[in-house]
């Protein structure tokens, strides 16, 4: 079943096409959701809500860009709203900053993708959002500021802190791996 | 590693990364979410016409009730009877005066509220003697349908005003005697008196109180049915909110529930403007618009642990006096920071209450009970929260915590005591309960939701027209 067939079938409400969309794209969209959600349970909720919204709003897909890219944006939008709606807004005060050691290029190669995902998940909510949007999705700080409702300078500073925190986590992980060897 | 390299490396590794998902279960969940959405949408489109239909039927029922009440009261009201039977009464009096069965055609003007006064005053001109009145055929009184028992002919004189009993009534200048002892009117009668048989005996007995006392509203002759009237009112309610957290599936929404539990409702303020219609029997239907604001605080204490790794002395070797070797290595330091974050939140709703009520009168006091559905048409809110360092962060109104609350139907009930401050102005104090519709803080279809019930004191003012 081609992508255009799936899209057309979903627009007409055909259950087989909707199921095909869910089965085919869920693993990829789950990875997107997982990067924004603090845990697996929340990521599953985000994925489910995103798929419902995708199937309901599929008429809004103009067909000009990548269908996968459009779905990713829906997942990101749902994830940001889900996190924004949480009552507990964790404001993490970093007690002490230290000069970060540079991470050797080999470090990322030594890590499994699951470990990298885990490192990103370990970031505080705000850091994780900005880091994902900027470093992975490729949005600029102005777009990020509009998406999550902060100023552009806040987005920039959050990203810098997120990057430093991630470097710290990766460094620790590298050291741990070295000791394990 | 440069920043760009780190970003590029991460992007290459995880952009197209896929995670295993139980697609069969996920499809079932998605399918279940899609199905209720259709039902919910159709319900959303249909409840408004349904509500209008119910309101219209209620209005119609009130109208019928009003007419029925008026009819019942008119049947029991002497005033109403007298007003309805004026031409017949005039004819009866004329008949008594002339002794013939001729019908008077001149209109008889009788003010209902002053009819007794008129009766007494005009009795002086009544061209009828007590003796003649005593011979009034019973058919005159019995011809008028009345629940008030007609006085027997032989008691007619007794129920005339005391001052006229036993006296020869002065004859009217417009009446002259003709042969055979009969009298005949020369002109249109100016008699405004009423047949005595229709009047309650106790109002005209020898011990009848003076007229000023008879004006007492407690006297059935002068008791008037309360008129139906329109009203407009405003009320302010200060309430203590009580919140419920519901979840159909605790496993999925456990985290959400825990998060919601950190919030403590503080107080709620409601303002309402209601207009409506109140029947003579005290039933009312009022509707309008209300604004409610619920203030709450969410307070949470967070322990944040930051682990840092640095270089430090890991081993000290004492070789001898004055000869010590320090071995440095990687040292892990953990710093835990505890901070309290508070979020001061505001939930605002705009509602349309539709209240059915019943009012009981006692002098200048009116005691009322009202209840009915409340339609929540708009919900919004905003939240500002305090960071652990004490500073505040403000969020825009369109980014608040409540923006996805669901509109719906709640109910309101109130008990109030109103005092008639001016003839058409009441002030009231009462108790109010307002159960808001269920609201979700998650996306539509999420099992986690909250519901507020507000218990408060109501202070209001009502103007009648």
pLDDT tens digit sequence for B396-455? 444 444 444 556 788 999 999 999 888 888 999 999 999 987 765 544 445 566 778 999
pLDDT band at A181 (very low <50, low <70, confident <90, very high): low
Partner A, chain B 175-214, Cβ-Cβ below 8 Å: none
Rounded to whole angstroms, how far apart are CA atoms B120 and B204? 10
pLDDT score at B5:
73
pLDDT score at B204:
45
Taking a C-beta distance cutoff of 8 angstroms, is the pair B464, B231 a contact?
yes
Classify residue A131 as left (phi > 0), alpha (psi -120 to 50) or beta: alpha
The answer to whether B19 contacts A168, with C-beta atoms less than 8 Å apart, is no
> With contacts defined as CB-CB under 8 Å, which chain A residues touch B446?
45
Residue B11 touches partner A, C-beta closer than 8 Å: yes
Residue B347 touches partner A, C-beta closer than 8 Å: no
The answer to whether B37 contacts A28, with C-beta atoms less than 8 Å apart, is no
Is pLDDT above 70 for B62?
A: no
Rounded to whole angstroms, how far apart are CA atoms B229 and A146? 55
The CATH architecture that domain B227-301+341-464 belongs to is: Beta Barrel (2.40)
Instruction: Quote the DSSP letter at residue B179.
Output: G
ipTM for the predicted complex comes to: 0.81
Q: Where are the domains of chain B?
A: 33-74, 78-214, 227-301+341-464
For the ranges A69-78, B205-214, B380-389, the maximum mean pLDDT occurs at A69-78
pLDDT score at A177:
61
- Which range has the worst mean pLDDT, A54-63, B196-205, B324-333, B346-355? B196-205
Partner A, chain B 445-464, Cβ-Cβ below 8 Å: 445-446
- Going from the C-alpha of B255 to that of each of A39, A43, A100, B442, the distances in angstroms are 11, 13, 34, 12
pLDDT score at B165:
44
**Strand pairing partners for B304?**
B337
pLDDT band at B239 (very low <50, low <70, confident <90, very high): very high
The answer to whether A87 contacts B260, with C-beta atoms less than 8 Å apart, is yes
pLDDT band at B308 (very low <50, low <70, confident <90, very high): confident
Taking a C-beta distance cutoff of 8 angstroms, is the pair A76, A53 a contact?
no
pLDDT band at B183 (very low <50, low <70, confident <90, very high): very low
The answer to whether A48 contacts B33, with C-beta atoms less than 8 Å apart, is yes
For the ranges B11-15, B67-71, B72-76, B275-279, the maximum mean pLDDT occurs at B275-279
**Strand pairing partners for B366?**
B361, B418
Topology of domain A105-180 in CATH is Arc Repressor Mutant, subunit A (1.10.10)
Residue B32 touches partner A, C-beta closer than 8 Å: no
Residue B299 touches partner A, C-beta closer than 8 Å: no
Taking a C-beta distance cutoff of 8 angstroms, is the pair B454, B433 a contact?
yes
Taking a C-beta distance cutoff of 8 angstroms, is the pair B443, A82 a contact?
yes
Rounded to whole angstroms, how far apart are CA atoms B78 and A176? 103
Q: What percent of chain A has pLDDT over 90?
A: 3
The answer to whether B335 contacts A135, with C-beta atoms less than 8 Å apart, is no
Q: State the nearest Cα–Cα gap between A87 and chain B, in angstroms.
A: 6
**B445: closest chain A residue by CA:** A49
pLDDT score at B421:
86
> With contacts defined as CB-CB under 8 Å, which chain A residues touch B388?
91, 93
Residue scoring higher pLDDT (B196 or A11)? A11
> With contacts defined as CB-CB under 8 Å, which chain A residues touch B32?
none
> With contacts defined as CB-CB under 8 Å, which chain B residues touch A175?
309, 330
**B311: closest chain A residue by CA:** A98
The answer to whether A149 contacts B399, with C-beta atoms less than 8 Å apart, is yes
Residue B137 touches partner A, C-beta closer than 8 Å: no
Instruction: Quote the DSSP letter at residue B181.
Output: G
For chain A, the average pLDDT equals 78
The answer to whether B341 contacts A89, with C-beta atoms less than 8 Å apart, is yes
The answer to whether B396 contacts A102, with C-beta atoms less than 8 Å apart, is no
Is pLDDT above 80 for B293?
A: yes
Q: Three-state DSSP class for B1?
A: coil
pLDDT score at B405:
54
Q: What percent of chain B has pLDDT over 90?
A: 15
pLDDT band at B317 (very low <50, low <70, confident <90, very high): confident
- Which range has the worst mean pLDDT, A9-23, A89-103, B337-351? A89-103
By C-alpha distance, which of B412, B446, B439, B361 is closest to A82?
B446
pLDDT score at B456:
93
The beta-carbon neighbor of A52 closest among B20, B33, B387 is B33
pLDDT in tens, B81-118: 444 444 444 444 444 444 443 444 444 444 444 555 55
pLDDT in tens, A11-56: 888 888 888 999 999 998 999 888 888 888 888 888 998 999 899 8
Rounded to whole angstroms, how far apart are CA atoms A7 and A12? 9
Residue scoring higher pLDDT (A175 or B191)? A175
pLDDT score at B246:
66
The beta-carbon neighbor of A92 closest among B18, B304, B404 is B304
Q: What percent of chain B has pLDDT over 70?
A: 47
The beta-carbon neighbor of A26 closest among B21, B260, B339 is B21
Is pLDDT above 50 for A4?
A: yes
pLDDT score at B60:
66
The answer to whether B304 contacts A23, with C-beta atoms less than 8 Å apart, is no
> With contacts defined as CB-CB under 8 Å, which chain B residues touch A116?
10, 13-14
pLDDT score at B276:
92
pLDDT score at B101:
39
Q: Where are the domains of chain A?
A: 3-84, 105-180
Topology of domain A3-84 in CATH is Rna Polymerase Sigma Factor; Chain: A (1.10.1740)
pLDDT score at B115:
52
> Which residue, among A51, A91, A102, A115, would best test binding to B if mutated, counting the most B CBs under 10 Å from its CB?
A91
Residue scoring higher pLDDT (B329 or B40)? B329
The beta-carbon neighbor of B17 closest among A31, A102, A168 is A31
Q: What is the DSSP string of B5-62?
A: HHHHHHHHHHTT------HHHHHHHHHHHHHHHHHHHHHHHHHHHHHHHHHHHHHHHH
pLDDT in tens, B1-52: 566 777 777 788 888 888 888 888 888 888 888 875 544 555 555 666 677 7
Q: Is B276 exposed, middle or buried (0-12, 13-18, 19+ CB in 10 A)?
A: buried
The answer to whether A52 contacts B30, with C-beta atoms less than 8 Å apart, is yes
> Which residue, among B8, B11, B30, would best test binding to A if mutated, counting the most A CBs under 10 Å from its CB?
B30
């Amino acid at each position: 079943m081609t992508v255009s067939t799936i899209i057309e079938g979903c627009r007409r409400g055909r259950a087989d096409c909707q199921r095909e969309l869910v089965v085919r794209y869920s693993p990829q969209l789950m990875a997107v959701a997982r990067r924004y959600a603090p845990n697996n349970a929340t990521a599953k909720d985000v994925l489910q809500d995103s798929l419902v919204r995708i199937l309901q709003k599929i008429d809004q897909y103009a067909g000009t860009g990548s269908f996968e890219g459009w779905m990713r944006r829906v997942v990101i939008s749902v994830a940001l709203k889900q996190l924004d709606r949480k009552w507990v807004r964790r404001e993490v005060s970093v007690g002490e900053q230290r000069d970060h050691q540079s991470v050797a290029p080999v470090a990322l190669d030594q890590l499994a993708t699951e470990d990298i995902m885990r490192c990103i998940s370990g970031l505080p909510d705000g850091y994780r959002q900005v880091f994902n949007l900027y470093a992975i999705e490729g949005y600029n700080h102005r777009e990020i500021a509009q998406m999550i409702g902060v100023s552009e300078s806040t987005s920039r500073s959050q990203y810098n802190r997120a990057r430093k925190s991630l470097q710290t986590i990766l460094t620790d992980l590298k050291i741990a791996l070295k000791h394990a060897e | 590693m440069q920043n760009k390299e780190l970003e590029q490396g991460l992007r290459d590794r995880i952009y197209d990364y896929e995670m295993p998902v139980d697609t069969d279960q996920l499809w079932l969940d998605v399918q279940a979410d899609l199905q209720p959405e259709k039902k919910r949408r159709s319900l959303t489109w249909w409840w408004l016409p349904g509500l209008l239909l119910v309101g219209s039927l209620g209005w119609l029922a009130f109208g019928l009730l009003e007419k029925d009440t008026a009819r019942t009261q008119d049947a029991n009201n002497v005033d109403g009877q007298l007003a309805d039977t004026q031409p017949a009464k005039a004819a009866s009096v004329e008949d008594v005066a002339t002794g013939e069965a001729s019908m008077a055609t001149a209109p008889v003007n009788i003010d209902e509220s002053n009819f007794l006064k008129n009766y007494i005053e005009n009795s002086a001109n009544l061209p009828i003697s007590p003796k003649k009145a005593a011979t009034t055929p019973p058919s005159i009184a019995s011809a008028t349908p009345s629940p008030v028992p007609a006085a027997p002919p032989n008691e007619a004189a007794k129920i005339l005003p005391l001052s006229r009993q036993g006296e020869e009534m002065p004859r009217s200048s417009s009446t002259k005697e003709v042969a055979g002892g009969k009298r005949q009117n020369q002109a249109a009668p100016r008699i405004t008196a009423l047949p005595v048989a229709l009047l309650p005996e106790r109002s005209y007995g020898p011990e009848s109180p003076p007229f000023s006392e008879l004006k007492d509203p407690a006297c059935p002759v002068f008791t008037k049915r309360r008129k139906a009237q329109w009203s407009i009112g405003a009320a302010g309610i200060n309430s203590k909110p009580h919140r419920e957290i519901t979840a159909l599936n605790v496993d999925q929404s456990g985290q959400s529930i825990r998060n919601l539990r950190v919030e403590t409702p503080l107080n709620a303020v409601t303002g309402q403007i209601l207009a409506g219609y109140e029947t003579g029997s005290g039933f009312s239907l009022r509707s309008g618009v209300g604004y409610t604001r619920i203030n709450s605080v969410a307070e949470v204490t967070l322990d944040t642990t930051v682990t840092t790794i640095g270089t430090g002395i890991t081993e000290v070797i004492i070789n001898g006096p004055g000869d010590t070797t320090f071995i440095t290595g990687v040292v892990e330091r953990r710093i835990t920071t505890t901070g309290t974050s508070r979020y001061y939140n505001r939930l605002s709703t705009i509602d349309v209450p539709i209240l059915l009520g019943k009012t009981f009168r006692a002098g200048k006091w009116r005691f009322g009970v009202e209840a009915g559905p409340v339609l929540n048409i708009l919900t919004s809110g905003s939240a500002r929260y305090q960071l652990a360092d004490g500073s505040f962060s403000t969020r825009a109104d369109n980014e608040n915590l409540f923006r996805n609350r669901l509109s719906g139907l709640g109910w309101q009930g109130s008990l109030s005591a109103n005092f008639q401050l001016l003839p058409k102005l009441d002030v009231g104090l009462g108790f109010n309960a307002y159960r808001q519709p269920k609201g979700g803080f998650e996306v539509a279809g999420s099992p986690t939701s909250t519901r507020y019930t507000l218990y408060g004191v109501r202070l209001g003012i009502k103007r009648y027209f």
